[in-house]
Structure formats: C-alpha cells, structure tokens
C-alpha cells in the first residue's frame, strides 16, 4: 500500500481525492479477497462431492448420478437431528455420515452390483433411476417446501482490516475440513491395505481378482467412503446456502461432477483442484460478470480446459491400443 | 459364390426395410389408437395435451439414438439442440405473425429451426468430437447448459429500426415505443401461434424415421457404423473420420431441432428451465433411448410414449406416482441388462418354456 501512496501523492491530485482512491483500491482488494475466500469455501464443498464421483468412477467405471441426491439426504438428516431432535451438531453429523454410508452401500448392492458386467449406459440409466427415487422419497417424507437449514457452525468467524474483510466460520470450517479429509484420503489410498486394493481395482479389475483382492468389497468400500463424504458436504453446503429442498442436491451434484472431470476424473488431487477452481470461478463470475451467466461461464471454462487438456488437468492420458 | 453374396445383401436390405415398415406401423397404430380414444372422448385433457409433446420428445429421442446408437457417442446435451430449434422457430413465428400466412410461416419456421439446431450441432461437434467417451458426454452437457443459461438472460425486441439484442434487461434494448419484445429473458417467448397438431407431429416423426433409416443404411451411415465399431480400423481403411462424425452429429442435432419446433408451437409460453431444456431433459431423453434399445428407433418412440404417459396414467396414486416411476425404471433396467437376470430369463422365460414344451412333445 505504501508504494501506491507515494506514486499517487506525486500525481498532483488534492489530498482528499488521493485518499479516496486509496480507499477505493483497498475496498476493491478486500472485496476481491472476500469473494476469493467464498469461492474457496464453495469449492471445498464441490471438492468433497467430486471426491465421491471421482473415486466411484475410478474404481467402478460408472457415473453415479445419484451422488448429488445422497448429499440432499445427508443434509436432511442433519437438519432433523439438530432442529427436530435437538442434538448437538457433531452428533447429528456422525449420524448423517453413518446413515449415508449405509445408504450408499445399499444402493450399490441393490441397483449397481447386478449390472457390473452390463454396458456402462445401462448402469448410468439405473443411477438416474436411483436419483429420481431418492428425490421422490425425500419429496414424500419432507414435502416440497424448502426448509431453512440453521448453520451447524455457530462460530461467526474472523474479521480483518477494521471490518472490511470478513471470513465466516462456515468458510474456515469448510476449507479446513476439506483439506484434512483430502490428506487423510490420500494417505489412506496410498498406505493402507484397503486403499491399495482400491488402486489395484481401478488399475485393472481382472488382474486385481487374480491377486486375491475382493473386488465386490472394495467397490462397496468406495461407495461407503463417497457417500459418507457426501453427508459432510451436504451439511457444509446447507450451512452456507440454507434453503433445503428435495432438489437441492442435483445442481451441486452436476457441478461437482464437472469439477471431477475438470481436475481429471479418477484422480483424488484432481478432484480437490477441480472443485476449488470451479468454486472460485463461479463466485468470481457471479461477482464481477453476471450472476445469471455464472453457470454458463463455469461450463465454458470447463470446455476450454478439456479442449486443451482432453483428460482434465491432472488426468492420465490413456493411449488407445489397437 | 457371387450370387450368394448378392442374395445375402439383398435380403439384408429387405430385413432393414421390414424394420422400417414395422417402425412406421408402430407409429401409425399409436396414432390410430390415440385418435380413436380422442374421438370417443376417453382421453383426459391432460393426456390430450401430451400428444404433441410425446411426438416432440420421440423425435429428439430418435435424433439422440442416431448419436448414441450409430455414432457411438454419449451426448447429454440434446435438450440444448431442442432448445435452439424451439426458440429460433418460435422467434420467427412470433416476429412474422400477421405478415406471412399461417401455413408457409410454419413451414419456414420448421426449416429455420431445424437448420439452426443442425448448425449449432455442427459448430459444437467440431471441438467436441475430438474428445472420447465420458469427456465428450460432459462437454455436451456443458454446452446444453450454456445454451439454456444464455437464453434465460437473452432479450430480443423488434421495432421500426430493426432487431435489438441485450443480455441485461428489457430497458437495455432501447426500443422505440412501437416495438415489441419477443424474447423476454427468463420469461421466454409468449404467444407463439399454436400450430403443431397431433397429425403434423406424427407426419414429421414418420419423416424423421425414414430419413434416419435411409441415413443409417446409406454409404455414409455404414461408414459411421464402421467408425463406431473400430475407429482405428476405419481410419486405416481411409475413411475420413471427422467428416462422417460431423455429418452424423449434425443430423442428430437437426432432428432434435425438429422436436423443438414442434414443442415450441404447441405451448403458449416457452421458457428454458432445467426441466424443459436443461440437463434433466437431456437425461430423460437418454432414458428413452436406452430403455427403448440403443440403435432401435421404434424402441425409442415406444419408450418415450410409455414413459411420458406413465406418470399421467398413475395419476390416481397422487404423490406416489413419481416414486413408482423411478422404481419401474430401475426394475426395467435390471430386468433388461443384469447378466444374472438375463440368464434366469433364458432358463425360465417364455421362450424357454415354449422350447421345453416342444421337447416334451
């Protein structure tokens, strides 16, 4: 800031004007930083959802379109536990994670496992069926009116620069939860037996079977982890955007899927990178260009990235064999 | 030897002609049943209102089936092409209402809508077809969303000075007082002349089926199928891959555009929401295609008809109808595709029972 002050003082403006310019600049910078942090916070939620997509895609080679609706179910569970049953936030989150994990495994067993050897498209359509099913169950149980979700994070957050830069508690928690989960997950996949089994199955399923890996259990585990993360993502998403309906999950679901592709589908750091970038682009586009066109801009950036790097930013380029 | 081959070829083409006739017969029978039901007054007004949309979505499904079944590429953006066809034709019809008589105006609107949907398909296909598999699917989804999103903020008006565009709001058009706003942002286009009748819709559907059938069995169509089955082999033989892919994708988008034109001229207020032209609709159309059988045009039409009418028929079940719909969808997919169920069907299904009876006799 000091540099600007000197250069501005030299250009011959009156004192008041130059103070105004400095103020405006500071204001712009602070505004930009606020948007950036909001973007990171939204991006963290996308990254958590994208993890579910990317892991399932990497291991089961299917697009799980019902993933977005598991988020919605998770958010409703948290809502019931905190608002209706009056449980503390941490307990309700644990309950939601447990239920969503079970839900993910049940869905996998009933709807996807029988189709493991069928074409990809058949599984895709079944996933769409499951997505409708979850939405309509929620519609019957909770009704179509939006419920207002009270944030599970009571912390107001931090304020910097004399109140100009506010970082909400939601944003801090979202970003840190996302980072911690990402690190744990990367360690899990790299260093533990089940994690190594996951990598083996995603590399070559038939070879993994020959090595004595239980493929069915590995795929179940993947769905369990993905769905558990979806519950956390649901709670975080609704803490920042408090209106919850049975359709809440579908748009973030699609965007997180985009984020997974953006970062390179099948790659865990790719999901993090894709999610964060997507969140930042969306919030900045909303702030500086047009709030109606934000989604279009997000998708346009995705298209450009895929045209330059056809398998996403961190994706592996797979050579086609004859 | 040569004769045998020739015979095989001709019977082959006969077989596909039979298939075409069967498809047209399916459409005509559906048409007849609906008309009779309508004449006897046993159709509810809601069902009646669904007749043209059923044809419109069937058309889009036929277009998408060309892309998924014969080009072998998954597109999740066909609702976007439908949207382009719908909005451009509705724009034309509304703008020239009163200056051109009804019938030629509808024909021109149809041509324009189809052309622009095809053009968009062509322009999008140039970059998109470089990608493969799921990446291609997500990019088409993205394009569909962009089209929907842009139309939602688009304002177009016409006055004495010409056409005005804006992406901001109605005031930004800067129109003369005598001008009319035609596309009104999120409110879309209202007051399009309602000219698509069930008969026109069915005729267009039949034309589309004939066109796709002839395309699939033409030299170009065979090339497209060769590329689908093995791109590297097709390339080695010397087929220009990009050209054939572009042709197939453009045709597929254009047919979706025809569906859009029909749809637009059947409702009084045309808006682009997630459920009408967004990814939800694209996915719904994909459901018709997969459930009806990939590469099977009559299957697409039957599946579209049943799945659009099913929620109406289940209306008595009130809130449970969409739940039942989703369960039916999952059950059908498992019944048709799960290897273990297919094996069970082979052993215990109708065909197996008939066979067993014959053996006993």
Tell me the H-state helices in A166-214. Answer: 169-191, 193-203, 205-210
User: Can you give the pLDDT at residue A124?
Assistant: 86
Q: Which residues of B touch A300 (CB under 8 A)?
A: 142, 146
Answer whether B290 touches A (CB < 8 Å): yes
Interatomic CA distance for residues B155 and B171, integer angstroms: 9
Sign of CA dihedral A5, A10, A15, A16: negative
Q: Which residues of B touch A125 (CB under 8 A)?
A: 286-287, 290-291, 329, 333
Chain B: closest CA distance from residue A89 (Å): 31
Chain B: closest CA distance from residue A243 (Å): 18
Chain B: closest CA distance from residue A146 (Å): 17
Question: Strand (E) positions, chain A?
Answer: 147-148, 158-160, 165-167, 243-244
pTM as predicted: 0.84
Which 49-88 residues of chain B touch chain A by CB within 8 A? 68, 74
User: Can you give the pLDDT at residue B201?
Assistant: 93
A283: number of Cβ within 10 Å: 21
> Token match 């099977």: residue?
B296
Percent of residues, chain A, with pLDDT higher than 70? 91
Range of the domain at B172: 2-360
The stretch B76-97 carries a mean pLDDT of 90
Answer whether B172 touches A (CB < 8 Å): no
Interatomic CA distance for residues B117 and B88, integer angstroms: 9
DSSP state of A211: T
Answer whether B143 touches A (CB < 8 Å): yes
The stretch A31-37 carries a mean pLDDT of 88
Read off the tokens for B312. 């109406």
**Structure confidence by residue, pLDDT tens digits, A180-236:** 999 999 999 999 999 999 999 988 888 999 999 999 999 999 999 999 999 999 999
Cross-chain CB nearest to A115 (options B232, B322, B337):
B337
Read off the tokens for B348. 């215990």
Q: What is the DSSP string of B174-234?
A: ---TT-EEEEEGGG-EE-------HHHHHHHHHHHHHHHHHHHTSHHHHHHHHHHH-HHHH
Q: Please say whether the structural domain A31-308 has been given the CATH code 1.10.3470.
A: yes
Chosen from B149, B188, B273, B285 to mutate, greatest number of chain A CBs within 10 A: B149
**Structure confidence by residue, pLDDT tens digits, A54-104:** 999 888 888 888 999 999 999 999 999 988 888 888 899 999 999 999 999
Answer whether A130 touches B (CB < 8 Å): yes
Q: Which residue has the higher pLDDT, A24 or B37?
A: B37
DSSP state of B97: B
**Structure confidence by residue, pLDDT tens digits, A157-177:** 777 767 777 788 888 999 999
**For B288, nearest residue in chain A (alpha carbons):** A125
Q: Which residues of A touch B340 (CB under 8 A)?
A: 114
pLDDT band at B233 (very low <50, low <70, confident <90, very high): very high
Q: Which residues of A touch B127 (CB under 8 A)?
A: 303, 307
Cβ-contact B78, B228 below 8 angstroms: no
């Amino acid at each position: 800031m000091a540099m600007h002050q000197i250069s501005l003082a030299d250009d011959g403006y009156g004192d008041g004007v130059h103070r105004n310019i400095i103020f405006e600049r500071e204001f712009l910078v602070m505004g930009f930083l606020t948007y950036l942090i909001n973007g990171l916070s939204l991006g963290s939620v996308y990254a958590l959802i994208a993890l579910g997509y990317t892991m399932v895609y990497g291991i089961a080679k299917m697009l799980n379109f019902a993933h977005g609706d598991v988020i919605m179910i998770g958010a409703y569970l948290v809502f019931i536990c905190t608002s209706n049953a009056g449980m503390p936030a941490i307990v309700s989150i644990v309950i939601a994670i447990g239920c969503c994990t079970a839900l993910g495994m049940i869905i996998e067993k009933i709807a996807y496992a029988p189709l493991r050897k069928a074409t990809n498209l058949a599984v895709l359509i079944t996933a769409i069926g499951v997505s409708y099913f979850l939405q309509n169950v929620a519609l019957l149980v909770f009704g179509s009116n939006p419920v207002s979700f009270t944030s599970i994070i009571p912390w107001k957050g931090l304020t910097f620069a004399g109140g100009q830069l506010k970082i909400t508690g939601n944003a801090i928690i979202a970003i840190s939860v996302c980072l911690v989960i990402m690190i744990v997950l990367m360690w899990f996949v790299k260093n533990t037996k089940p994690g190594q089994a996951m990598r083996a199955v995603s590399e070559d399923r038939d070879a993994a079977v020959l090595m004595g890996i239980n493929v069915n259990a590995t795929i179940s585990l993947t769905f369990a982890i993905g769905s558990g993360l979806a519950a956390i993502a649901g709670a975080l998403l609704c803490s920042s955007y408090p209106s919850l309906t049975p359709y809440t999950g579908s748009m973030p679901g699609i965007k997180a899927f985009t984020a997974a592709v953006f970062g390179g589908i099948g790659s865990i750091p790719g999901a993090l990178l894709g999610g964060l970038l997507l969140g930042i682009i969306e919030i900045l586009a909303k702030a500086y260009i047009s709030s109606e066109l934000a989604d279009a801009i997000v998708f346009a950036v995705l298209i450009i990235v895929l045209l330059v790097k056809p398998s996403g930013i961190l994706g592996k380029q797979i050579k086609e064999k004859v | 030897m040569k004769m045998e081959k020739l015979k095989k070829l001709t019977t082959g083409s006969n077989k596909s002609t039979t298939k075409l006739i069967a498809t047209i017969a399916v459409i005509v029978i559906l048409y007849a049943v609906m008309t009779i039901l309508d004449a006897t007054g046993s159709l509810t007004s809601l069902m009646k209102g669904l007749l043209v949309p059923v044809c419109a979505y069937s058309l889009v499904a036929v277009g998408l089936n060309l892309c998924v079944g014969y080009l072998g590429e998954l597109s999740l953006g066909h609702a976007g092409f439908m949207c382009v066809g719908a909005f451009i034709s509705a724009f034309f019809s509304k703008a020239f209402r009163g200056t051109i008589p009804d019938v030629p105006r509808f024909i021109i609107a149809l041509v324009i809508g189809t052309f622009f949907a095809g053009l968009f398909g062509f322009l999008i296909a140039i970059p998109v077809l470089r990608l493969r598999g799921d990446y291609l699917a997500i990019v088409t989804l993205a394009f569909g969303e962009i089209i929907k999103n842009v139309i939602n903020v688009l304002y177009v008006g016409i006055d004495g000075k010409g056409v005005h565009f804006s992406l901001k709001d109605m005031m930004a058009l800067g129109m003369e007082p005598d001008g009319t706003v035609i596309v009104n942002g999120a409110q879309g286009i209202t007051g399009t002349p309602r000219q698509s009748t069930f008969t026109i819709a069915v005729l267009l559907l039949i034309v589309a089926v004939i066109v796709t059938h002839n395309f699939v069995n033409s030299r170009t169509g065979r090339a497209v199928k060769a590329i689908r089955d093995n791109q590297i082999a097709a390339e080695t033989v010397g087929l220009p891959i990009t050209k054939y892919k572009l042709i197939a994708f453009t045709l597929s988008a254009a047919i979706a555009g025809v569906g859009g034109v029909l749809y637009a001229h059947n409702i009084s207020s045309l808006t682009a929401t997630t459920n009408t032209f967004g990814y939800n609709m694209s996915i719904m159309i994909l459901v018709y295609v997969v459930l009806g059988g990939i590469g099977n045009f009559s299957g697409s039409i039957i599946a579209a008809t049943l799945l659009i009418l099913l929620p109406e028929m289940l209306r008595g079940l009130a809130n449970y109808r969409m739940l039942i719909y989703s369960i039916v969808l999952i059950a059908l997919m498992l019944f048709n595709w799960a290897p273990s169920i297919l094996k069970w069907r082979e052993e215990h299904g109708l065909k197996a029972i008939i066979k067993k009876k014959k053996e006993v006799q």
